[in-house]
Amino acid sequence: MPAPERRSRAARNATRYMSKAAFHRVLLKLSGEALMGTQGFGVDPQVANRIAEEVREVRNLGVEVAIVVGGGNFIRGVAASESGIDRVVADHMGMLATVINALALQDALERTQTYTRVITAIEVRAIAEPFIRRRAVRHLEKGRVVIFAAGTGNPYFSTDTAAALRAMEIKAEVILKATKVDGVFDADPKEVPDAKMIARINYLDVLSRGLKVMDTTAISMCMDNHLPIIVFNLNVPGNLKRVILGEQVGSLVAA
């Protein structure tokens, strides 16, 4: 087949895949616990590989993917501060934990032949790029998966807030909040067996009812900037792709 014809077919295929996706640019929020699997600590390589494979499938649809990862599988700043560590020091320790997770996820992604960049809010130039908004956006435009680590770079702010901030900075269309449950429930499903899932809810209801979707700062930022959040179960294989394709998966938090 002549080269021009091959390129034309590739372009047509890319257009066809993009027409199926409901979003062009998304931010995926991963907790540190999502990488832990059934372990009590650290990163489970098999879980990281599964997540990487799902991200690769989404990226192959032509969707630009950014990821904010937490560090709770190693240390939580709030919990550490309650144990007697200075809160600022504890939060910085938590930021470094997110860098560890970002590197693990980068390794898993690149083994699927997915180009990836780790970008951190605190400078660790030997292993990651410092956060520069225009550079991060350019990486996305070139088809690279961007992993944001170290939260906002400031103590007292969670990685939920970092996810909301980064999503707005890169102009993502939606935050995909990956969890261990199917969506937003009217009560904790672990404590209330007959808790009901809510398919759609607005920001104010999340805040007034104290539902644990994201922290209040993150929800308020999303509300003020009209940024929707989809909460879904990452433990169900294929769910990430279903969300990207616009299927009714999980719960939508919107205006």
> What mean pLDDT do residues 93-122 have?
97
Tell whether the model's pLDDT for residue 255 goes beyond 80. Answer: yes
Percentage with pLDDT > 70 across the chain? 93
User: What is the pTM assigned to this prediction?
Assistant: 0.89
Residue 80 has pLDDT above 80, yes or no: yes
Q: Which parts of the chain fold into alpha helices (H)?
A: 3-20, 32-36, 45-60, 77-82, 87-110, 133-141, 159-169, 203-208, 216-224, 239-244
Per-residue pLDDT tens digits for 15-72: 454 458 999 999 999 999 999 988 889 999 999 999 999 999 999 999 999 999 999 9
pLDDT at 227: 97
Reply yes or no on whether the pLDDT at 1 is more than 50: no
For residue 149, list its beta bridge partners: 120
d(CA 70, CA 227): 20
193-210 pLDDT per residue, tens = 889 999 999 999 999 999
Contact (CB, 8 A) for 98 and 32: yes
The residues spanned by each domain of the chain are 22-254
Superfamily of 22-254 according to CATH: Acetylglutamate kinase-like (3.40.1160.10)
Question: Which tokens hold the place of 180?
Answer: 């261990």
